Structure formats: structure tokens, C-alpha cells
């Protein structure tokens, strides 16, 4: 039986998803000796400056924090990072490309946990795109990073199913549940030198381009089945939306009406009842179930029946 050793790790991440894995490492035998995370950003209505979830945790544990703005800025602190003398750099949703200099810095290389079954959905938004394109399964992949975008050889994979009800939020939770055990297993293999790397099949590669807020605007000329997928993919961000009577409305949940096959003009309000608002698309009907009017809380149609009934008048059109 191999006895594992503690690995000295520089952790690179920014999102809430990556912060959950940082917490696992902080309660393991391994040593998190440095943190790479995105610079503090202004966000929200007041454009207040916010720290990343990773930075907040690192401050509580007094771990050295580095916040370069770009790959070039990261290269400029390489001498400081060398002093840490880390075994690996572990990257989870960091969003800054690592240069060849940085990739060759750790003794065991840079390891990335990616939220798809590579080579499918390389890129920055793999979870969103998997839902949007109707994939039935996904998972996590650990790779040893190279200079390409998610092109490095595969160290470990673990699969999970995507249901017809999964949103990006619920799917990220699934990936965390399978990832929290996998990450300890992968670090164990690395610590004892008992691992194998497998090249990716580039012929099967697809690319998950970064989510753009403009994509969330509903186009009623798109078939209902695709709109329903988009709504789930863009939940909890950036949230699908439309306009009606100069009112901005977010869609948190919808479903397709498989019973009605009659043709109506895309965007036409057909009816409203306790089940939702029935909207015609280029192909099929979309039933809006949970909405959020500008400045209000999200709720089911039946919970604000009088408000929605006055807003969604059959025969009118959504923009």
C-alpha cells in the first residue's frame, strides 16, 4: 500500500463553485500555500467593489493572495510564486490563461478540474452549453494543462446525468458532489506518482463559448423546446428575459406544451391560467411558470394572479 504525502498547492480559482473545492483542500492533509484569483470587481446596482468567494476564504486562513489582471501580469509575479515551491497549481474556474512559464513552474505541473467530459465543451461555459444543446450526460475531467484551451491530457473523469429539469445551478451542484471525492482521489494519485495521462481525441472536440448577456433575450422565433433549454441554461445567470408593455420580465422556469400543435404567430399570448402563460413560438408553445417583474421578487404565475392577468392579455405580443 502506498503512503500518500501532503502536496503543497497553489490554488487558482474565482467562482463560488471553485470556492467549495478550496474548502475541501483546506480540510485535507494538503497545504494550500498560495491563492490566485481574479481582481476585485464592481457589480450590482451600486457598482460596489466585491471580492471573489476564493479571496474571502483565503483571507480567513491567512493564505497569500495574488490577483493579476492578465496572463502578462501573472508572468510578472513568477519569481514570487517560485518562492512558494509548490508541487502543483490546481486550477478551477480561474478565467486567466496560464503561460508556458507558469505551466512549467510546479513540480507536478498544473492540474485543471473542468466541468465537462472533455474533449466535449472545452472553453469557459461548459455547463451552460451542455444544457442548452440538450446533452443527456456530462461530468468532470481532470487534465494536466498545456498551452491550449482545455486541450491537455486527461488524468481522471467522472460522469453524471443531465435531466430535463436541470438548471446550470442544479447541475453545478451535481458536479460538485462527484468532484469532492474525485479531487482527493486525484491528489492521492499525484502524491504517490501512480497516475496515467490519456490524450484527448481532438476530432470529438466542441467549444463552449463564453455566455453573453445578450443571449438571454428571448427570441420567440426559436422553437419552444430550445427556449426551454435556454431558460434552464441561463439560470441562475444571466436569466432569460423579454419585454411586455415596457415592462422588463425575467423567466426563471418554463415548460413546453406538447398537446397544442396549432400555429400562431411567434410571441403571441394565447392564454393565461393557474398553470402559467401560454406563448406561441415558431414551433410549439412555451408555458411561462415562474416570472420576475422588474423590481419585484420571482414567483409562480398563480401567486400574483391579478397582476399577471392584467399584463398578459391574449392576442397581444411579447417583445
Annotated binding site for (6S)-5,6,7,8-tetrahydrofolate: 116-119
CA dist 71 and 51 (Å) reads: 20
Binding site, annotated residues: 116-119
How many Cβ atoms from other residues are within 10 Å of residue 33's Cβ? 18
Q: How many CA atoms lie within 13 A of 66 on its CB side?
A: 22
Q: What is the 3-state secondary structure (H, E, C) of the chain?
A: CCCCCCCEEEEEECCHHHHHHHHHHHCCCCEEEEEECCCCEEECCCCEEECCHHHHHHHHCCCCEECCCCHHHHHHCHHHHHHHCCCEEEEECCCCCCCHHHHCCCCCCEEEEECCCCCCCEECCHHHHHHHCCCCEEEEEEEECCCCCCCCCEEEEEEEECCCCCCHHHHHHHHHHHHHHHHHHHHHHHHHCCCCCECCCHHHCCEECCCCHHHHECCCCCCHHHHHHHHHHCCCCCCEEEEECCEEEEEEEEEEECCCCCCCCCCEEEEEECCEEEEECCCCEEEEEEEEECCCCCEEHHHHHHHHHHHCCCCCECC
CA 73 to CA 89: how far, in whole Å? 17
| DSSP β-bridge partners for residue 58 | none
Amino acid at each position: 500500500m502506498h503512503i500518500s504525502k501532503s502536496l503543497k498547492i497553489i490554488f487558482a480559482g474565482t467562482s463560488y463553485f471553485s470556492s467549495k473545492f478550496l474548502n475541501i483542500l483546506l480540510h485535507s492533509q494538503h497545504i494550500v500555500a498560495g491563492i490566485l484569483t481574479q481582481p476585485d470587481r464592481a457589480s450590482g446596482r451600486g457598482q460596489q467593489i466585491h471580492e471573489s468567494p476564493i479571496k474571502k476564504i483565503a483571507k480567513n486562513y491567512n493564505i497569500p493572495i495574488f490577483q493579476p489582471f492578465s496572463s502578462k501580469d501573472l508572468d510578472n509575479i513568477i519569481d514570487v510564486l517560485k518562492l512558494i515551491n509548490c508541487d502543483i497549481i490546481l486550477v478551477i474556474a480561474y478565467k486567466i490563461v496560464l503561460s508556458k512559464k507558469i505551466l512549467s513552474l510546479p513540480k507536478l505541473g498544473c492540474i485543471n478540474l473542468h466541468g465537462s467530459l472533455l474533449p466535449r465543451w472545452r472553453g469557459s461555459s461548459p455547463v451552460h452549453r451542455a444544457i442548452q444543446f440538450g446533452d443527456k450526460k456530462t461530468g468532470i475531467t481532470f487534465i494536466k494543462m498545456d498551452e491550449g484551451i482545455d486541450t491537455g491530457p486527461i488524468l481522471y473523469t467522472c460522469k453524471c446525468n443531465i435531466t430535463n429539469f436541470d438548471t446550470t445551478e442544479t447541475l453545478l451542484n451535481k458536479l460538485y458532489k462527484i468532484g469532492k471525492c474525485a479531487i482527493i482521489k486525484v491528489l492521492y494519485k499525484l502524491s504517490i506518482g501512480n497516475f496515467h495521462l490519456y490524450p484527448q481525441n481532438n476530432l470529438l472536440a466542441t467549444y463552449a463559448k463564453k455566455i453573453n448577456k445578450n443571449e438571454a433575450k428571448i427570441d420567440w422565433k426559436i422553437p419552444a423546446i430550445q427556449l426551454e433549454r435556454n431558460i434552464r441554461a441561463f439560470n441562475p445567470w444571466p436569466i432569460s428575459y423579454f419585454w411586455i408593455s415596457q415592462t422588463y420580465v425575467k423567466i426563471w422556469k418554463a415548460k413546453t406544451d406538447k398537446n397544442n400543435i396549432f400555429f400562431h404567430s411567434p410571441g403571441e399570448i394565447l392564454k393565461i391560467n393557474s398553470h402559467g402563460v401560454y406563448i406561441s413560438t415558431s414551433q410549439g408553445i412555451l408555458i411561462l411558470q415562474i416570472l420576475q417583474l422588474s423590481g419585484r421578487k420571482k414567483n409562480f404565475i398563480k401567486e400574483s394572479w391579478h397582476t399577471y392577468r392584467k399584463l398578459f392579455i391574449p392576442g397581444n405580443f411579447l417583445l
